[in-house]
Amino acid sequence: MEGFDAIIVGAGPAGCACGYTLAKAGLQTLIVERGKFAGAKNTWGGALFGPSLAELIPEFWKEAPVERFVTDRKLSFLSGDHCLSLSYTSPEYRQPPYEGFVLLRSKFDRWFAGKAEKAGAILASGLAADDLLYDGKQITGIKAGGDSIPAGVVIACDGVNSVLARKAGLGAEFKAEDMKQGVKEVLALPRDVIEQRFGLSADEGMAWEFVGSCTQGVPGGAFIYTNKESLSVGVVVQLSALSRKGVSANDLLEGFKNHPAISRLIAGSTLVEYAGHLIPVAGVNMMPKLYSDGMLVAGDAAALVIGTGLILEGANLAVTSGVKAAETVIKAKEKGDYSASSLAAYETLLKATSELKDLSTFGKAPHFLENERIYSTYPDMACDFAHTLFTSNGKPRTKLFPLLRKSMKGKTTLWQVAIDLIRGGQAL
């Protein structure tokens, strides 16, 4: 067939990983990106965890535009103006291959796309894929910019609202309950100020998650990631609950920034970027069919995101799915067969990865995380308990269990806590 061996739609982590792998194997590969450059339309910008990229490009951090290494993980419970925090760090986090990396997508995706280009892929930026080409039921390429571009296979890596995946009958009909809305600001601060305020040095970075009053009872949470000379600050909340509660994600973000524990961290900063996007979080329960005659779906377009409340992983699953899609296409090219029966090997390869096993392991987590007590009752209890525990008022102190019962009074019961713990243990 004249044309490309493969056309990849979307130059995010899935598309770049796929293009890089295909090009290294010698396949004629085109990556179509509707943004002016790779990363222009991508709004995720936080921490990349998992070994997926390191397996693909060993020691990538030596050349990639990594903002900082994640050396500190922190979780905070917010209740009104109060804040209770848990912090964890380890000497291992400060040594290669490192625990994780804080990234800015506009920089990182351009680097990753450049790696694919150097390997031999062609990157067409500013070009939107409008439709698919068919020969009978077989997908044989795309229509973009008024042109018909043929290919042996098309890989949709264009995000949760993939138009081409829906046209091919592979895009799932997502419900609002299956989605979270993320809004994020990048706030500029001098490097020395960031390191002083967050207790960091050199290239050390912090990934800090928050749960509680910052979302006003809406399932979700907030975050702060430390970049070199800026902070990524945002909230991620369940889409369906926003309308039910009558609030907007923007309002929640403003409220989070004005919390006393947060306002002092971002004081003096200036806004340099604002972005919002939808995240598929229902896991295996919302995964669409991953292949058809002449087409594969990867990354967010395949709903490959793990959400456990404390962890929201998508980038490493995107990289893994991109690599496995490429491996499937390489085998299909060898056989000269891009039919659905041939491309079905993609699903088999994916299911054998640790990332897809994790997605199945935490399949019950999305439903459990709809429990509003997680975002109001329990943070309130935790902060009330800590306040009483650490406050000296000149009166005799109370033992821990009676103190805990006092913090629970009027909020919940031991029986309800026990039920939630059991359900949480089953889900998480």
Exposed, middle or buried by CB within 10 Å (0-12, 13-18, 19+), for 420?
Answer: middle
Q: How far is CA 137 from CA 35, 134, 166, 326, in A?
A: 30, 6, 15, 22
pLDDT single digits (tens) 106-126: 899 999 999 999 999 999 999
Beta carbons of 34 and 161 less than 8 angstroms apart:
no
Cα–Cα nearest to 170, from 142, 149, 139: 139
pLDDT single digits (tens) 350-409: 999 988 888 888 878 877 888 889 999 999 999 998 998 898 877 777 888 888 888 888
Confidence class of residue 310 from pLDDT cuts 50, 70 and 90?
Answer: low
Give me the helices (H) in 120-230, please.
163-167, 191-198
pLDDT single digits (tens) 82-99: 999 999 999 999 988 888
Q: How far is CA 376 from CA 256, 345, 383, in A?
A: 14, 45, 11
This prediction's pTM: 0.92
Q: What is the pLDDT of residue 309?
A: 65
Q: Across the chain, which distance is largest between two alpha carbons, in Å? A: 84
Exposed, middle or buried by CB within 10 Å (0-12, 13-18, 19+), for 172?
Answer: buried
Mean pLDDT on 251-258: 96
Cα–Cα nearest to 95, from 65, 59, 66, 64: 59
Token pair listed for 397: 């102190």
Q: What is the pLDDT of residue 195?
A: 97
Beta carbons of 217 and 244 less than 8 angstroms apart:
no
CA atoms within 13 A on the CB side of 188: 4
Element of type H or E holding 27: none
Query: Which residues have a Cβ under 8 Å from the Cβ of 236 and sit 6 or more positions away?
Result: 180, 181, 182, 220, 221, 222, 223, 279, 312
How many angstroms separate the CA atoms of 103 and 227, rounded?
7
How many angstroms separate the CA atoms of 284 and 352, rounded?
14
